[in-house]
A and B are shown apart, each in its own frame.
Chain A
Amino acid sequence: MIKEWLFTTDHKRVGILYLVGSLAAFAVAGIVALLIRWELTGIGETIGGVGPDDYNFWLYFHGAAMILAFLIPGLTGFLANYLVPLMIGAHDVAFPRVNAFSVWLFWFAIVIALLSFVIPDPPDIMWTGYPPYSSEFSPGNTAFYVFTVHLIGFSSILGAVNFLCTVIYMRAPGMKWNQLNFFVWTILGAFVIQLIFVPVLASSVTLLLTDKYFGTAFFVPANGGDVLLYQNLFWFYSHPAVYVILLPAVGVMMEIISNMSKNPIFNYKAAVYGGVWGVVVLGSDVWVHHLYTSGLADWIRIGMMVTTLIISIPIGLLIISLVGTLFRGSIKYSTGMLYATSNLFLILVGGLTGIPLAMTSLTLHLAETYFVMAHFHFIMGIMATFAVFAGIYHWFPKMTGRMYSEKLGVIGFVLNFVGVNLTFWPLFYIGFLGMPRRYYDYAMFPEFEPFQVMATVGAIVVAVSMALNFYNWIVSAIFGEKAPENPWGSNSLEWTHCQSPPGPGNFPKLPKVSSKWHPHEYKPQVIEWV
């Protein structure tokens, strides 16, 4: 049994391995978030014996683990691995062994990240790792950060090659590009971004490594280096990385909203070619909005303000399609659907609070405050997490062959939604008033204490909801009642042509797709086999 899982090359098992790894990272980083929030409930040292260095390490770990080890692998590792071959009607991915290699690279990265809890000087350089702090002044072991990024980056590049090949060459006979599931399109977009930009991140952290340990001076101005070089390289990847998270999250929402309202996607072609590919193309020209206060030339800050605001066009098309798909639908609410529809609210709040942050003159005030922090937690943290949860619930019957407890799921959802709003709305407010990020202490703003306490209460509510969700998944996967073959009445291949859970090779024979078939069409359709 253990051997089977260790040496598996089956994309479904690889997907589950990604899920387990990323949820483990999520759980640890979530507990760390609770500690951070608890520390902030009072001015000065709140948890006995916790100094600023511990706190800074927690911030580093929370950020790096949530983004690199939970969100990206959860969406492009777990969901892509499990669903893409099923949705396009393939027996497996194009390179199954490469796929197995990439999941184990990811697991090693998690081990290295977790090791930083036990080593003497853990990294305290935040997930951005800006030099010269990280390269010259930090007492922490920057190498642990660099190697985590290397391993996860390598894993992502392998995944990107694998999935691009899979979708291009292994679609079911007769399946045209315009008959792809929306989620498959978003995964394509996300992996194109990964393939192009991950090497840039890898190079920037490698230069950091040689600066720190081999005495090079890429980022040392006294020796002819440049501090801003790192920031440019880092955000050249890390801004598109936001879309690596956003696109599959929207893809999951679109799948579930379309399926549960039994409605074809509103303007599918505009959402795919305008929305998804618009984000991919424009998303690479906006990274300077992370450097609005960094002393770059004025003209580039203005230029990138315009490009950043223009991003609202493809995102707007995606949101129109999400909302429009509900129009005249036949909506049934499952836990997955609740997560998906409430995500509309999160994506609006997170997206629209991004607009002042796109404007360089307003960001001069808002940058590096709790306002930014609340903004990206809404759009990236919570929205994408809700998408992963929606995905887990929606495809739970597919993965396990059993039903989860809808009652527990709904209670968990309500607590989760209330909790995140309770946490982050006060932070928007004190952020606008000037509360800076990454502060262990806020003695200069004693009046913010009640808001910090409110946010911590919200975080505790979220923690309760997480416990319910994890309990629900684990217990239901073992003891849940048998799920019907197609509980949501979907027309996508993974529901109509496979067992739950799908056996080795997924499909007994390859499904044949007629030109009239569409995964997001809910009228009775002709289903054929080759």
Chain B
Amino acid sequence: MINRVLLLAAIVGIIVFGVLPVGAEDEVKRAFTDHTEEFHKVWVHLLWDIGIIGGIFLILSIYFMFAYRRKRDDQIGNGPKFTTMGMILGWALIPSFIFMADDFYLSAQGWKLWIDQRTVPENAMEVEVTGQMWGWEFEYENGAISDNDEGLVVPEGRPVVLRMKSDDVVHSFFIPRYRIKEDLMPGRVTYLWFYPKDKGEHVFTCTEFCGTNHSEMWGKVKVVSQEEFDEWSEKNKG
């Protein structure tokens, strides 16, 4: 009897701790999360969060400001007295814990999104980005080359990872549409990735001050169909 129970437990254990995670891992490898969409979920949560906190404080202060105006010249305030330790600590610790709970809630949200933003999908297309005063150069896996007039041409529906470095000063590559940016600097390679799933043109800009023509260091991310992309990259090779 005991042996059977042990055997059953072993089988269940192997399934739960052995087989299932292996399957799950495969799934993780294949799938990725479009962080641009996740960004909007977190953003909406956040707006509610700061809206409620701000609303409470604002309504209270405006109410106090009108309700407690001075009626007689010799009138003095009648605010609460903090004479006992319980009162002092209570009014310090209870709000602190509420704020802290909210901080941890937001941290968790931010952290989850952060993992999505920093985990590059395996099938991502690599593009090498070089920033220099004052323009960009993009080099594709097949040797195709582009710049900021031509734009960052990418195929629709395949994640793109940018490996970025700078030839001179600190720059920063920013695509507002995909809610991401990361600095480029001499001596380091940085990265960011995004999922272009909508055809069209989206602005990218430099967002780290880099001298006279900083504000001209912009271009378009051009999301095209796979066929158009293949054709384009063939043409721009070398």
Contacts and interface: CB of A to CB of B under 8 A. Distances in A.
Co-assembled chains A and B:
yes
B232 interface: no
A477 interface: no
Interface in A323-342: 323-333, 341
Given A137-B169, A302-B111, A327-B68, A437 B207 contact: yes
Interface in B78-125: 78-82, 87-89, 91-92, 95-96, 99-100, 102-104, 106-107, 109-111, 113-114, 117-118
Contacts of A483: none
A441 B58 contact: no
A313 B79 contact: no
B96 A438 contact: no
A440 B113 CA distance: 33
Contacts of A226: 187
Interface centre among A137, A262, A442 (most CB of B within 10 A): A262
A332 B69 contact: yes
B226 interface: no
Contacts of A298: 114, 118
A365 B176 contact: yes
Contact of B54 (A133, A262, A302, A348): A348
Contacts of B185: 221, 227-228, 294-295
A37 to B, nearest CB: 16
B213 interface: yes
B179 interface: yes
B215 interface: yes
Contacts of B142: none
A137 B133 contact: yes
B96 A316 contact: yes
Given A442-B215, A522-B76, A331 B114 contact: no
B161 to A, nearest CB: 15
Contact of B60 (A132, A268, A323, A329): A323
B215 A328 contact: no
Contacts of B69: 330-333
A320 interface: yes
Contacts of A269: 82, 88, 92
Interface string B48-68: 011001100110110011001
B173 to A, nearest CB: 9
Interface in A237-255: none
A359 B47 CA distance: 13
Contact of B176 (A227, A333, A341, A433): A433
Contacts of A327: 64, 68, 79-80
B79 A264 contact: yes
Contacts, number: 266
A137 B168 contact: yes
A56 B170 CA distance: 16
Contact of B210 (A133, A227, A294, A444): A133
Contacts of B110: 305, 359-362
Interface stretch (A184-192, A350-358, A402-410): A350-358
A362 B215 contact: no
Nearest to B173: A293
Contacts of A523: 76
B109 A359 contact: yes
Interface string A32-66: 00000000000000000001110010000000000
A443 to B, nearest CB: 8
A133 B170 contact: yes
Nearest to A133: B169
A138 B214 CA distance: 12
6 tightest CB-CB pairs across the interface, nearest first? A221-B187, A434-B176, A263-B77, A270-B92, A359-B110, A326-B64
Interface of A: 51-53, 56, 124-126, 130, 132-133, 136-138, 221-222, 226-228, 261-264, 266-270, 274, 293-295, 298, 301-302, 305-306, 309-310, 312-313, 316-317, 319-320, 323-333, 341, 344-345, 348-349, 352-353, 355-356, 358-362, 364-365, 367-369, 433-434, 436-445, 522-523
Interface of B: 35, 39, 42-43, 46, 49-50, 53-54, 57-58, 60-61, 64-65, 68-71, 75-82, 87-89, 91-92, 95-96, 99-100, 102-104, 106-107, 109-111, 113-114, 117-118, 133, 168-170, 172, 174, 176-177, 179-183, 185-188, 190, 192, 203, 205-216, 218
14 contacts: A52-B215, A130-B208, A221-B186, A266-B80, A268-B82, A305-B111, A309-B103, A316-B96, A319-B57, A326-B61, A361-B111, A362-B43, A436-B174, A444-B203
